[in-house]
A and B are shown apart, each in its own frame.
Chain A
């Protein structure tokens, strides 16, 4: 096993979107308990370096497989598809409309300094994202429709970005409140 092994193989999990998260957690901890730098403090330099590289790799792998959108993107990249460059997928007008509405709502809450509304939007957006994950599962695992999955993943990337923006706005509001 070397550092370039793919993440599913590393954790001995099937290469599918639907994975057993409890199993992922367990495998991750099993590996980390072997390779973590705390387990190799007294070793020679080579071993310490190796331990750090493996532990970092295990962290990256875990994070990638744990987050649904990341996992989907990773599966797509293993299948030779990169949603970031699936620029030719045309965004459906409904999706664009929805995006605009979200953004307006966030903008409004921000201008009004409405902390609760932002928290609510944050929460709703997360639920919304979750709903789409079921769709990703069916596209990737049941239908192997990678093109459609890449398109959906790309749309979800927009939603995640929006989520991050709400988060940032909330932090800014909190900062403002302190001063």
Chain B
């Protein structure tokens, strides 16, 4: 694996300190937290020894909040305030959610993302998710006994920008430093690949509670390269439950239900589905509050038949991913099954048939995502173990583009582009003297803007008067390693600029996050100012540490004067760390960052040359 040995001699110079980092699988149905302990990835259990935290949050009338198992118990008693499968609402408007009519919640149709009205007031799905993350964070802190430097949070590979942004916001709200958003099937591939020293092309089929992903990866010498991904961010075990729910209603000839009865029956449907994994037939008996009684029998074959279209749909998406990767089924070496819903026998059978081979089910489909996330968190935190010299190359699942004339989409970044990616496109004005230009950023594969997801709108103003077609406006799309997009526009001759971190139409603004954080902190009785100071200190220390490491390994790239400038910026920042002036700390951080910009550029250049050392440049 010599290929990936990255030279970080400075790392060995510093005392070896294990930095606590965690991986979190924030699932539709279940969430988990994992870490690396004594070189092994492990899921952290709760006090009762259970790793899975049901992703359920209940807001109580007395102001209390229950998360996990305790909330499960209340699901049928207080359905309106007990939020299940909140992941389906992340970054979504009311019109985006399927079967919304069957849900017991009071939705608010707020611009961008919907909200839920609870007994504790209006809640954004981001806030609800943050409650789940808070519990996992606390679990990790207690279990690891120290402050976390950060977390890798997993998201469905097919999540779009709005959903990723919302997930990131939830983590921030829960007080977690996000090291990376990692795609769930990729996390599973990492866990599987590292454990089994797998090489070759693999497919990961991940059917969870609310989402389906299919990723195709090439594993070579410690490199995990995603070749293509496809999926459906609203297709999972929940939909199998729903089919069964409707079937029971139909079979039992029951009229519309109260929300309590509906919740009850939904839970019953879920339990029945799970039983059918091991039993050939299951009796469904339920006494409703209305006095009516349900008493029907279902066979495994009947269940398989009614849910066949769902399975069929996953295979269509699988076929598409293969086509995008330019691969035939026969070229897939193994199929990794992830997610609780892949336990259903008819799903396993269909996948086996499609790929012409038995899928790999020797790993725990519930835990593998969290374990992979923990492995990456550990590597990102800089805890280099023998097995940590691997590289992950992921892709963007959906194309990104701009609205053009006639409501059509001009694609700027095609789906399955390897991250990070930057693309620029030039546009021009179409009227004489046109002083502004509006941009509408969308995501999706369809040709019409109306069929794609609207991510953001922004405007470039102050274009100097020119003849139509004379201005040259360069729009740059940049998607980072988290799969998050930022867009900027610049008029070449005048240099006027506009840019957006894409979040306005979906997701929360920084101000909203700040407000929520403040409210949360006040509730916890913390001191906002103290927290801000602490955050700046951590940031300053991180930067000093990184700079020292760089100086130790590449100090020779600087002359005495340059070195002195950096040293003095470090000293100045150190002095500020000892003080309590948050604002001054911010200025000091910026000053050190500036002082090291040129150094960073030289180091990068050296790293690239070093990587290619031994290869002659044949022609320049």
Q: In the complex, are the beta carbons of B615 and A12 less than 8 A apart?
A: yes
List residues 1-37 of chain A with CB under 8 A from any CB of chain B.
Answer: 1-2, 8-9, 11-15, 26-27, 29-37
Q: In the complex, are the beta carbons of B618 and A44 less than 8 A apart?
A: no
State whether A56 and B420 are in contact (beta carbons under 8 Å apart), knowing that A44-B592, A178-B313 are contacts in the complex.
Answer: yes
Interface mask (A33-54 → B, CB under 8 Å = 1, otherwise 0) = 1111111011111110011111
- CA–CA, A78 to B226, complex, Å? 30
- Across-interface contacts of A55 in B (CB, < 8 A): 420, 481
Q: In the complex, are the beta carbons of B480 and A52 less than 8 A apart?
A: yes
List residues 379-409 of chain B with CB under 8 A from any CB of chain A.
Answer: 379-382, 391-393
State whether A174 and B604 are in contact (beta carbons under 8 Å apart), knowing that A8-B619, A38-B380, A52-B480 are contacts in the complex.
Answer: no
Further pairs besides A31-B612, A174-B316: 6, Cβ < 8 Å: A9-B617, A12-B612, A38-B180, A42-B546, A56-B478, A59-B421
| A79 on interface, CB distance cutoff 8 Å | no
- Across-interface contacts of B3 in A (CB, < 8 A): 26, 29-30, 33
- CA–CA, A89 to B59, complex, Å? 70
Q: Is the interface of B mostly helix, strand, loop or mixed?
A: helix
| B603 on interface, CB distance cutoff 8 Å | yes
- CA–CA, A42 to B3, complex, Å? 22
- CA–CA, A120 to B3, complex, Å? 39
- CA–CA, A46 to B543, complex, Å? 11
Query: Which of B180, B546, B607 sits near A44, CB closer than 8 Å?
Result: B546
- CA–CA, A127 to B147, complex, Å? 57
Q: Which residue of A lies closest to B315 (CB)?
A: A174
Interface mask (A116-130 → B, CB under 8 Å = 1, otherwise 0) = 000000100010000
State whether A43 and B600 are in contact (beta carbons under 8 Å apart), knowing that A12-B616, A56-B422 are contacts in the complex.
Answer: yes
Query: Which of A15, A54, A63, A174 sits near B319, CB closer than 8 Å?
Result: A174
State whether A14 and B618 are in contact (beta carbons under 8 Å apart), knowing that A34-B6, A46-B600 are contacts in the complex.
Answer: yes
| A167 on interface, CB distance cutoff 8 Å | yes
Q: In the complex, are the beta carbons of B316 and A52 less than 8 A apart?
A: no
| A171 on interface, CB distance cutoff 8 Å | yes
- Across-interface contacts of A177 in B (CB, < 8 A): 312, 316
Q: In the complex, are the beta carbons of A60 and B421 less than 8 A apart?
A: yes
Q: Which residue of A lies closest to B611 (CB)?
A: A30
| B118 on interface, CB distance cutoff 8 Å | no
- Across-interface contacts of B597 in A (CB, < 8 A): 46
- CA–CA, A44 to B393, complex, Å? 22
Which positions in A face B, CB cutoff 8 Å?
1-2, 8-9, 11-15, 26-27, 29-39, 41-47, 50-57, 59-60, 62-63, 122, 126, 167, 170-171, 174-175, 177-178
Q: In the complex, are the beta carbons of B619 and A15 less than 8 A apart?
A: yes
- CA–CA, A147 to B453, complex, Å? 42
- CA–CA, A63 to B347, complex, Å? 35
- Across-interface contacts of B596 in A (CB, < 8 A): 44, 46-47
Interface residues on B, range: 35 or more
Q: In the complex, are the beta carbons of A36 and B391 less than 8 A apart?
A: yes
Which positions in B face A, CB cutoff 8 Å?
3-4, 6, 179-180, 223, 309, 312-313, 316-317, 319-320, 323, 326, 376, 379-382, 391-393, 417-423, 445, 478, 480-481, 542-543, 545-547, 550, 592-594, 596-597, 600-601, 603-605, 607-612, 615-620
- CA–CA, A55 to B482, complex, Å? 13
- CA–CA, A58 to B3, complex, Å? 17
- CA–CA, A9 to B379, complex, Å? 31
Q: In the complex, are the beta carbons of A39 and B320 less than 8 A apart?
A: no
- CA–CA, A177 to B316, complex, Å? 9
Nearest CB on A from B314, distance (A)? 10
Q: In the complex, are the beta carbons of B420 and A37 less than 8 A apart?
A: yes
Q: List 23 A-B contacts (CB under 8 A).
A: A9-B619, A12-B612, A12-B615, A29-B3, A30-B611, A32-B391, A33-B611, A34-B607, A37-B420, A38-B380, A44-B547, A46-B593, A50-B601, A51-B604, A56-B421, A59-B419, A59-B420, A60-B421, A122-B323, A167-B323, A171-B320, A178-B309, A178-B313
Query: Which of A29, A54, A56 sits near B608, CB closer than 8 Å?
Result: A54
- Across-interface contacts of B391 in A (CB, < 8 A): 29, 32-33, 36, 38
Q: In the complex, are the beta carbons of B420 and A45 less than 8 A apart?
A: no
Q: Which residue of A lies closest to B545 (CB)?
A: A42
Q: In the complex, are the beta carbons of B609 and A1 less than 8 A apart?
A: yes
Nearest CB on B from A57, distance (A)? 8
- Considering residues B382, B421, B616, which has the most beta carbons from chain A within 10 angstroms of its beta carbon? B421
- Across-interface contacts of B317 in A (CB, < 8 A): 174
- Across-interface contacts of A11 in B (CB, < 8 A): 612
Query: Which of B6, B380, B600, B619 sits near A33, CB closer than 8 Å?
Result: B6
- Considering residues A13, A44, A59, which has the most beta carbons from chain B within 10 angstroms of its beta carbon? A44
Q: In the complex, are the beta carbons of A34 and B611 less than 8 A apart?
A: yes
Nearest CB on B from A98, distance (A)? 23
- Across-interface contacts of B615 in A (CB, < 8 A): 12, 27
- CA–CA, A42 to B546, complex, Å? 7
Nearest CB on B from A126, distance (A)? 8
Q: Which residue of B lies closest to A8 (CB)?
A: B619
- Across-interface contacts of A42 in B (CB, < 8 A): 380-382, 542, 545-546
Q: In the complex, are the beta carbons of B418 and A178 less than 8 A apart?
A: no
What are the 3 A-B residue pairs with the smallest beta carbon separation, nearest first?
Answer: A47-B600, A34-B607, A174-B316
Q: In the complex, are the beta carbons of A37 and B319 less than 8 A apart?
A: no
Nearest CB on B from A163, distance (A)? 10
- Across-interface contacts of B617 in A (CB, < 8 A): 9, 12
Q: Which residue of A lies closest to B617 (CB)?
A: A12
Q: In the complex, are the beta carbons of A63 and B312 less than 8 A apart?
A: no
- CA–CA, A62 to B179, complex, Å? 26
Query: Which of A33, A35, A53 sits near B422, CB closer than 8 Å?
Result: A53
Q: In the complex, are the beta carbons of A44 and B593 less than 8 A apart?
A: yes
- CA–CA, A55 to B604, complex, Å? 11
- Across-interface contacts of A14 in B (CB, < 8 A): 618-619
